[in-house]
């Protein structure tokens, strides 16, 4: 049996709810399933049918849900272009009426919105026309030092309400599936930030409908906790909490400008533009992430030029290193983020330096020595090539050279920490074993802590609202 898809991706990149089986049984006969990449298919406006009879796609979630469901797209009608996510149905404790929860920056118009402004669903990104479902009630103003970015809206007459999730992509919020955070900001390199759900609940004064007490449908975040959410753009995703208690800078738009938001949760590779307002609950596998469509490695040309040989021809191999190898583990994903976030710093630093003839010689020699070995490990999932003592000795030689010429003292210290925590322990491992070794949340936390401690390395960047 052959299944045609627009883009074929590794299993680890696919939500388990969308993963095709290896075999199917038809009329008592078992058939193998062969997935073939066929490119974009014609669109006639049809899609998957949700349990309530509406037609939608797995992601983005742009169907008209009546009543609206957690995870679908919504907008403030006045904004004209901003689409966010319907976070959840809640009970407003000021009047005990059902209300919609979402992000304030999306429907509050940079603190300019007024109570009574119309909320529409689907949002503007769906290009589906204006369909009012309620009106804005109140929001927490965006200001420097806030810990919340949230708003409540009331339902229009006859719209109804439900605690169900769009397309039933995950369980609804309950004491056994508690809300942990709300997605508010991120960037194109996979960084995602969430405010704490319980802080949002207390400041807006609401409870979740399935709660038997005000707070028993929320849970405090902890490092290493697995989260899952359903957002308008990414549909279902699951990630792992990397750090809590962060302070980030965001541009809240005119007239508010740039502000800091405190006590923020950091979850790598978790959301896309338009997911703002989505509620993340405890659950999932921690590694079902959206397709970020990352750009080619931004450093190949710069590094090759600095050391006197062409590396731009290796873009395809670099993409495979990222997608087929590093993306398969939390440690690898952190290394991807660090590369993209700090590429400009590396470019600027190398532009102000001149390598010695010896540096260029050794760089070219190591590229020749290891290019085919690395290509084999990256491109062949069944590769039996292993890390040897010679590989580690060469790595030490390279790191010594970089420490004396390119790296700062703090950067060199972090590099040696990662060498001791990661590389040395890979001695004798093949590709499969290396990926399994890096698929360790505690190890990822060690790497993150080491990188974040370096003043010149950016691991908590300014982030636009999503």
- What is the C-alpha to C-alpha distance for residues 338 and 287, in angstroms, rounded to an integer? 18
Residue 319 belongs to what domain range? 300-452
Cα–Cα nearest to 187, from 403, 456, 418, 463: 463
Of the CA atoms within 13 Å of residue 274, those in its CB half-sphere come to: 22
- Greater pLDDT, 44 or 119: 119
Predicted confidence at residue 33, as pLDDT, reads 53
Predicted confidence at residue 127, as pLDDT, reads 85
The structural domain count of the chain equals: 2
- What is the C-alpha to C-alpha distance for residues 298 and 315, in angstroms, rounded to an integer? 9
Average pLDDT of the residues in 27-31: 48
Tokens (6 digits) for 138: 């109140």
Does residue 341 fall inside a structural domain? yes
**207 three-state secondary structure:** strand
Residue 449 parent element (H or E): helix 441-452
Does residue 329 fall inside a structural domain? yes
Tokens (6 digits) for 75: 């907008």
> Could you tell me which residues are beta bridge partners of residue 31?
24
Cα–Cα nearest to 180, from 169, 159, 196, 192: 196
- What is the C-alpha to C-alpha distance for residues 136 and 114, in angstroms, rounded to an integer? 7
Q: How confident is the model at residue 29 (pLDDT cuts 50, 70, 90)?
A: very low
pLDDT tens for 42-78 read: 222 222 333 333 333 467 999 999 999 999 999 999 9
**70 three-state secondary structure:** strand
Q: How confident is the model at residue 254 (pLDDT cuts 50, 70, 90)?
A: confident
Q: How confident is the model at residue 292 (pLDDT cuts 50, 70, 90)?
A: confident
Average pLDDT of the residues in 291-295: 80
Q: How confident is the model at residue 389 (pLDDT cuts 50, 70, 90)?
A: very high
Predicted confidence at residue 130, as pLDDT, reads 74
319-323, long-range: CB < 8 A, 24+ apart:
320/378, 320/379, 321/374, 321/378, 322/294, 322/297, 323/9, 323/10, 323/13
Does residue 247 fall inside a structural domain? no
- pLDDT above 70 covers a percentage of the chain that reads 87
Q: Which of 140-149, 184-193, 268-277 has the lowest mean pLDDT?
A: 184-193
> Could you tell me which residues are beta bridge partners of residue 151?
102, 139
Does residue 171 fall inside a structural domain? no
- The alpha carbon of 294 is separated from its chain's Cα centroid by a whole number of angstroms, namely 12
Contacts of residue 430, Cβ cutoff 8 Å, sequence gap at least 6: 377, 383, 384, 385, 386
Does residue 25 fall inside a structural domain? yes
Q: How confident is the model at residue 19 (pLDDT cuts 50, 70, 90)?
A: low
Does residue 448 fall inside a structural domain? yes
> Could you tell me which residues are beta bridge partners of residue 36?
4
- What is the C-alpha to C-alpha distance for residues 305 and 347, in angstroms, rounded to an integer? 11
Place of tokens 């401690």: 453
- Greater pLDDT, 213 or 294: 213
Does residue 73 fall inside a structural domain? no
Cα–Cα nearest to 122, from 107, 133, 106: 133
Does residue 147 fall inside a structural domain? no
């Amino acid at each position: 049996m052959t299944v045609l898809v627009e883009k074929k991706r590794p299993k680890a990149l696919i939500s388990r709810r969308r993963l095709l089986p290896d075999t199917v049984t038809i009329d008592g006969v078992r058939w193998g399933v062969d997935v073939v990449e066929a490119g974009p298919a014609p669109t006639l406006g049809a899609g998957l049918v949700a349990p309530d009879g509406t037609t939608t796609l797995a992601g983005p979630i742009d169907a008209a849900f009546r009543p609206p469901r957690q995870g679908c797209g919504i907008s403030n009608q006045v904004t004209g272009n901003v689409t966010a996510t319907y976070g959840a149905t809640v009970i407003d404790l000021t009047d005990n009426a059902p209300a919609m929860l979402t992000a304030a920056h999306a429907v509050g118009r940079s603190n300019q919105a007024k109570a009574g402004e119309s909320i529409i669903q689907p949002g503007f990104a769906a290009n589906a026309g204006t369909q009012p479902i309620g009106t804005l009630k109140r929001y927490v103003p965006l200001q420097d030092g806030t810990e919340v970015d949230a708003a409540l809206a009331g339902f229009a007459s006859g719209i109804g309400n439900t605690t169900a999730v769009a397309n039933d992509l995950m369980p609804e919020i309950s004491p056994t599936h508690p809300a942990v955070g709300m997605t508010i900001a991120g960037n194109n390199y996979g960084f995602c930030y969430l405010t704490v759900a319980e802080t949002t609940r207390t400041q807006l004064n609401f409870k979740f409908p399935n709660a038997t007490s005000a707070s028993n449908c929320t849970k405090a975040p902890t490092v290493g906790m697995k989260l899952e959410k359903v957002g308008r753009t990414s549909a279902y995703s699951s990630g792992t909490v990397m750090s809590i208690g962060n302070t980030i800078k965001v541009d809240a738009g005119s007239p508010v400008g740039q502000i800091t938001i405190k006590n923020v949760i950091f979850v790598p590779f978790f959301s896309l533009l338009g997911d703002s307002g989505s509620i993340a609950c405890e659950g999932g596998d921690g590694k079902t992430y959206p397709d970020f469509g990352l750009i080619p490695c931004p450093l190949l040309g710069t590094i090759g030029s600095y050391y006197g040989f062409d590396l731009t021809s290796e873009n395809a191999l670099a993409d495979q290193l990222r997608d087929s190898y590093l993306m398969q583990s939390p440690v690898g994903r952190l290394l991807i983020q660090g590369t993209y976030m700090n590429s400009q710093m590396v470019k600027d630093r190398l532009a102000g330096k001149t390598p010695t003839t010896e540096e260029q010689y050794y760089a070219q020699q190591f590229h020749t020595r290891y290019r085919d070995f690395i290509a084999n490990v990256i491109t062949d999932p069944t590769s039996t090539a292993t890390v040897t003592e010679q590989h580690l000795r060469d790595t030490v030689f390279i790191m010594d050279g970089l420490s004396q010429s390119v790296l700062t003292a703090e950067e060199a210290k972090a590099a040696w920490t990662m060498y001791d925590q990661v590389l040395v322990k890979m001695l004798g491992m093949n590709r499969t074993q290396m990926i399994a070794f890096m698929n360790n949340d505690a190890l990822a936390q060690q790497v993150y802590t080491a990188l974040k401690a370096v003043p010149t390395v950016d691991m908590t960047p300014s982030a636009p609202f999503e």
